[in-house]
Copies of this chain bind each other. A is one copy, B any other.
Amino acid sequence: MSVQPEDAVFAIAPATGERLEPGYPVAKPADVEAACMAAAAAFPTYRATRLENRAIFLDAIAEEIMALGDDLILRVMAESGLPRARLEGERGRTCNQLRHFAGVLREGSFLEARIDPALPDRQPAPRPDLRLQNVPLGPVAVFGASNFPLAFSVAGGDTASALAAGCPVVVKAHNAHPGTSRMVADAVHRAAVRCGIPAGTFALIFGLSNEVGGALVADPRIKAVGFTGSRTGGLALMQIAAARPEPIPVYAEMSSINPVLIFPGALAERAEAIGTAFAASLQMGAGQFCTNPGLVIAVDGAGIDAFIASARASIEGAAPQTMLTPAIHAAYGDGIAWLSGHDEVETLAKGGAASGPHQARPMLFQTDAWSFDADERLGTEVFGSASLLVRAERLDDIHHLIAGLEGQLTIAIHMADSDRDAVAAILPLLETKAGRILFNGFGTGVEVSHAMVHGGPFPATSDGRSTSVGSLAIKRFLRLLCYQDMPVDLLPEPLRDDNPLALWRMTDGAMGRA
Nearest B residue to A454 via CB reads B482
With known contacts A432-B138, A484-B441, A114–B490 Cβ distance under 8 A? no
Q: Are A238 and B249 in contact (CB under 8 A)?
A: no
Asked if A247 lies at the interface with its beta carbon under 8 angstroms from chain B, I say yes
Q: Are B485 and A452 in contact (CB under 8 A)?
A: no
Q: Are B481 and A438 in contact (CB under 8 A)?
A: no
Asked if A33 lies at the interface with its beta carbon under 8 angstroms from chain B, I say no
CB neighbours (8 Å) of A137 from chain B are 464-465
Asked if A237 lies at the interface with its beta carbon under 8 angstroms from chain B, I say no
Q: Are B438 and A109 in contact (CB under 8 A)?
A: no
Q: Of A103, A447, A480, which is in contact with the most chain B CB atoms at under 10 Å from its CB?
A: A480
- Once bound together, how far apart are the Cα atoms of A511 and B104, in whole Å? 12
CB neighbours (8 Å) of A471 from chain B are 509
CB neighbours (8 Å) of A48 from chain B are 428
With known contacts A462-B247, A490-B420, A438–B509 Cβ distance under 8 A? no
With known contacts A48-B428, A464-B479, A490-B427, A450–B484 Cβ distance under 8 A? no
- Binary flags per residue of A446-483, CB closer than 8 Å to B gives 1, else 0: 01011111010111001111110001100000111111
With known contacts A238-B242, A484-B437, A490-B420, A115–B479 Cβ distance under 8 A? no
Q: Are A132 and B453 in contact (CB under 8 A)?
A: yes
Asked if A130 lies at the interface with its beta carbon under 8 angstroms from chain B, I say yes
Asked if A350 lies at the interface with its beta carbon under 8 angstroms from chain B, I say no
Asked if A127 lies at the interface with its beta carbon under 8 angstroms from chain B, I say yes
Min C-beta distance of A408 to chain B, whole Å? 12
User: What is the total number of residues of chain A having a CB less than 8 Å from a CB of chain B?
Assistant: 83
CB neighbours (8 Å) of A407 from chain B are 246
A window 368-391: CB within 8 A of B? none
- Binary flags per residue of A314-349, CB closer than 8 Å to B gives 1, else 0: 000000000000000000000000000000000000
Q: Are B238 and A447 in contact (CB under 8 A)?
A: no
A window 411-442: CB within 8 A of B? 415, 420, 423-424, 427-429, 431-432, 434-441
CB neighbours (8 Å) of A247 from chain B are 238, 242, 458, 462
Which of B131, B440, B450, B511 contacts A451, CB < 8 Å? Answer: B131
Asked if A89 lies at the interface with its beta carbon under 8 angstroms from chain B, I say yes
Say how many copies of this protein the assembly contains: 2
Q: Are B466 and A480 in contact (CB under 8 A)?
A: yes
Min C-beta distance of A96 to chain B, whole Å? 12
Q: Are B124 and A482 in contact (CB under 8 A)?
A: no
Q: Are B451 and A482 in contact (CB under 8 A)?
A: yes
- Once bound together, how far apart are the Cα atoms of A481 and B428, in whole Å? 12
With known contacts A428-B48, A445-B125, A464-B479, A490–B438 Cβ distance under 8 A? no
Asked if A67 lies at the interface with its beta carbon under 8 angstroms from chain B, I say no
With known contacts A44-B428, A238-B242, A458-B246, A450–B482 Cβ distance under 8 A? no
Asked if A489 lies at the interface with its beta carbon under 8 angstroms from chain B, I say yes
Min C-beta distance of A118 to chain B, whole Å? 10
- Once bound together, how far apart are the Cα atoms of A455 and B478, in whole Å? 13
- Once bound together, how far apart are the Cα atoms of A132 and B449, in whole Å? 11
CB neighbours (8 Å) of A429 from chain B are 44
Which of B423, B432, B435 contacts A490, CB < 8 Å? Answer: B423
Min C-beta distance of A78 to chain B, whole Å? 24
A window 108-125: CB within 8 A of B? 109, 112, 114-116, 124-125
Min C-beta distance of A495 to chain B, whole Å? 9
Q: Are A479 and B450 in contact (CB under 8 A)?
A: no
Asked if A487 lies at the interface with its beta carbon under 8 angstroms from chain B, I say yes
Asked if A504 lies at the interface with its beta carbon under 8 angstroms from chain B, I say yes
CB neighbours (8 Å) of A405 from chain B are none
A window 48-70: CB within 8 A of B? 48
- Once bound together, how far apart are the Cα atoms of A109 and B137, in whole Å? 24
Q: Of A420, A452, A463, A465, which is in contact with the most chain B CB atoms at under 10 Å from its CB?
A: A465
Min C-beta distance of A234 to chain B, whole Å? 11
Q: Are B438 and A484 in contact (CB under 8 A)?
A: yes
- Once bound together, how far apart are the Cα atoms of A417 and B128, in whole Å? 19
Asked if A107 lies at the interface with its beta carbon under 8 angstroms from chain B, I say yes
CB neighbours (8 Å) of A457 from chain B are 246, 479
- Once bound together, how far apart are the Cα atoms of A278 and B162, in whole Å? 39
With known contacts A109-B511, A458-B246, A480–B490 Cβ distance under 8 A? no
Could you give 6 example pairs across A and B, Cβ below 8 Å?
Answer: A116-B449, A130-B449, A135-B431, A420-B490, A455-B480, A467-B480
> In the complex, given contacts A431-B481, A450-B509, what are 11 additional A-B residue pairs having Cβ atoms less than 8 angstroms apart?
A43-B432, A132-B472, A420-B490, A437-B484, A438-B484, A439-B484, A439-B485, A452-B482, A453-B482, A464-B479, A511-B513
> Nearest 7 A-B pairs (CB), nearest first?
A438-B484, A453-B482, A130-B451, A132-B451, A114-B451, A242-B242, A116-B451
